[in-house]
């Protein structure tokens, strides 16, 4: 019996019980929100020190600027490949299913549109002008940029000084890993509370109201997660994706429950290295970078959502417009932060690129959180696969 009471099985049970409790006892689940928040806060507490230490250790472990460039280029190449494949799956599915609604058009305008994102402001936002501000605000992309420079600089120091920095950050990294293991034990409780809260707050009825859209998103996500990505694992990574999934599934379940790639990061790093057998240089570098840059689920979702909005408004988007969607959805997913609802905000970029009103976001906002859970699970699954696949191609010099 004890054999079955692992954190993973308890987490799956917690998801099922959370949904049931959200439906039957919404009041109770709304007031039990604190447990989920506690779990999230503990995870968030680990993100900044963990990202800092793990990326530093991973880069210095690579041993040279050349090895770093090599892995960096491969990581970005791979992210682009999978993101492009994800958007393509999204566009193919949405063109076949053609989801639309007229149902909620009246509701449009009641939700105030988020501020529009421009590409230049997005690029500037990647650079920190004050490291401590970036650290205290938890701005992951800015922190990543700094750590990459810091670690690259450390590679230029004489061996003794580089090694003392390395030893320090390795110890920080390991200690954070121990705390992550403690926090992971709370996963079932946190997941139960988070899922129960979402179901109690959003209700399942809205899913039914927008069923053709919801189904199109889910269908495309499943094709990508169960078909496209595993095919890459077999061909490029030469490993069995199902075996790997069973080892790292805890992180995917947490991504689903929290709808945040960043909050899941401490767990992804821990399970990839400890259970998934991923080299620490790869887990420490590819996962933190992937948590903000590589979002296949989000990219695919953006493409479907914009097409759905166009269909609902009766606007025909032809091939060239769909190329615009393809490009902007790719960038929007790279720019989206790993937090709940980030994809919805980034969608303004695509809507304005194809000339649709930003208020149209009101059309899909009601089901965003639930779809966010699915797309975040796919984002994290994509990152976990990336770390394992890229590990095969690391040319470490140490
Ligand atoms: N919640 C997603 C994530 O953290 C981003 C999104 O909103 O699509 O990966």
* Full-model pTM: 0.87
Give dist(CA 316, CA 356) in Å, integer: 11
Atom of ligand 1 nearest to the CA of 379: 9
DSSP class of 236: I
**Residue of the CA atom closest to atom 3 of ligand 1:** 338
Q: What is the DSSP string of 33-88?
A: HHHHHHHHHHHHHHHHHHHHHHHHHHHHHH-SHHHHHHHHHHHHHHHHHHHHHHHH
Q: Which of 107, 146, 148 is nearest to 360 (CA)?
A: 107
Report whether residue 114 contacts ligand 1, using a CB cutoff of 6 Å.
Answer: no
Q: Any idea which residue has 């492009």 for tokens? A: 84
Q: What is the secondary structure of 219-235 as a DSSP string?
A: HHHHHIIIIIHHHHIII
Among 256, 375, 383, residue to substitute to test ligand 1 (most atoms within 8 Å of Cβ): 375
CA distances in angstroms from 270 to 214, 279, 286, 291, listed in the order given:
32, 12, 13, 14
Ligand 1 centre from 333 Cα, in Å? 9
Residue 259 CA: distances (Å) to CA of 37, 291, 337, 389, 390: 13, 12, 11, 24, 25
Whether ligand 1 lies within 6 angstroms of the CB of 266 is answered as: no
> 259: Cβ below 6 Å to ligand 1?
yes
Radius of gyration over every alpha carbon of the chain, rounded to an integer in angstroms: 21
Nearest in space to 332 (alpha carbons), one of 379, 364, 293, 360: 293
Q: How far apart are CA 326 and CA 336, in angstroms?
A: 15
Find out whether the beta carbon of 63 lies less than 6 Å from any atom of ligand 1: no
| Ligand 1 within 6 A of CB of 337 | no
Q: How far is the CA of 342 from the centre of ligand 1 (A)?
A: 5
Question: Is residue 339 within 6 Å of ligand 1 at its C-beta?
Answer: yes
**Within its chain, how far is the Cα of 28 from the centroid?**
29
Cα–Cα distance between 251 and 377 in angstroms, integer? 8
Q: Which residue segments constitute the domains of the chain, with CATH numbers given?
A: 2-397 (1.10.3860)
pLDDT at 99: 84
Q: For every one of its 398 residues, what pLDDT tens digit does the chain have, with 9 covering 90 and above?
A: 666 778 878 888 998 999 999 999 999 999 999 999 999 899 889 989 988 998 899 899 888 888 888 888 999 999 999 999 999 999 999 999 888 776 545 444 444 555 566 778 778 888 999 999 999 998 888 998 999 999 999 999 999 999 999 999 999 989 998 998 899 889 999 989 998 998 898 777 777 788 899 999 999 999 999 999 999 999 999 999 999 999 999 999 999 999 999 999 999 999 999 999 998 889 999 999 999 889 999 999 999 999 999 998 888 888 888 999 999 999 889 888 889 988 988 888 899 888 898 888 888 888 888 999 999 999 999 999 999 999 998 875 54
Residue 294 near ligand 1, beta carbon < 6 Å: no
- Residue having the nearest C-alpha atom to atom 1 of ligand 1: 340
- Residue 368 to residue 231: CA distance in whole angstroms: 28
User: What would the two tokens of residue 338 be?
Assistant: 């790993």
Residue 337 alpha carbon to ligand 1 centre in Å = 7
Integer Cα distance of 130 and 127 in angstroms: 9
pLDDT at 217: 96
Question: 43 burial class (0-12, 13-18, 19+ CB within 10 angstroms)?
Answer: buried
Which atom number of ligand 1 is nearest to the Cα of residue 375? Answer: 8
Name the 3-class secondary structure at 116: coil
Q: Is 341 in the pocket of ligand 1 (CB under 6 A)?
A: yes
The residue length of the chain stands at: 398
Answer whether 277 contacts ligand 1 (Cβ < 6 A).
no
């Amino acid at each position: 019996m004890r054999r079955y009471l692992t954190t993973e099985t308890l987490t799956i049970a917690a998801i099922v019980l959370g949904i049931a409790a959200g439906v039957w006892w919404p009041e109770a689940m709304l007031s039990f929100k604190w447990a989920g928040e506690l779990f999230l806060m503990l995870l968030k507490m680990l993100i900044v020190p963990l990202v800092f230490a793990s990326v530093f250790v991973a880069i210095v472990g690579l041993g040279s600027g050349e090895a770093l460039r090599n892995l960096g280029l491969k990581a970005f190449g791979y992210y682009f490949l999978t993101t492009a494949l994800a958007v393509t799956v999204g566009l193919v599915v949405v063109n076949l299913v053609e989801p639309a609604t007229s149902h909620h058009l009246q509701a449009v305008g009641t939700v105030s549109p988020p501020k529009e994102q421009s590409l230049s402001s997005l690029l500037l936002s990647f650079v920190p002008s004050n490291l401590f501000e970036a650290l205290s605000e938890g701005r992951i992309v800015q922190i990543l940029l700094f750590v990459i420079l810091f670690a690259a600089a450390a590679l230029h120091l004489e061996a003794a000084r580089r090694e003392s920095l390395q030893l320090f950050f390795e110890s920080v990294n390991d200690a954070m890993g121990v705390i992550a293991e403690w926090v992971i034990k709370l996963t079932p409780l946190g997941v139960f509370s988070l899922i129960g809260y979402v179901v109690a707050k959003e209700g399942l009825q809205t899913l039914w109201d927008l069923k053709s859209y919801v189904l199109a998103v889910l269908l495309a996500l499943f094709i990508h997660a169960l078909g496209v990505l595993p095919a890459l694992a077999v061909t490029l990574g030469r490993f069995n994706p199902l075996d790997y999934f069973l080892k790292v599934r805890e992180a995917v379940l947490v991504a689903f429950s929290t709808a945040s790639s960043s909050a899941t990061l401490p767990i992804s790093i821990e399970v990839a290295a400890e259970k998934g057998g991923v080299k620490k240089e790869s887990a420490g570098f590819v996962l933190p970078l992937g948590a903000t840059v590589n979002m296949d689920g989000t990219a695919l979702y953006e493409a479907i959502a914009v097409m759905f909005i166009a269909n609902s408004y009766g606007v025909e988007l032809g091939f060239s417009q769909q190329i615009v969607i393809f490009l902007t959805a790719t960038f929007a997913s790279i720019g989206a932060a790993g937090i709940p609802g980030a994809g919805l905000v980034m969608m303004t970029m695509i809507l304005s690129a194809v000339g649709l009103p930003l208020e149209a976001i009101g059309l899909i906002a009601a089901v965003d959180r639930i779809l966010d859970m699915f797309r975040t699970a796919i984002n994290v699954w994509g990152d976990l696969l990336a770390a394992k696949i890229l590990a095969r191609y690391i040319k470490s010099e140490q």
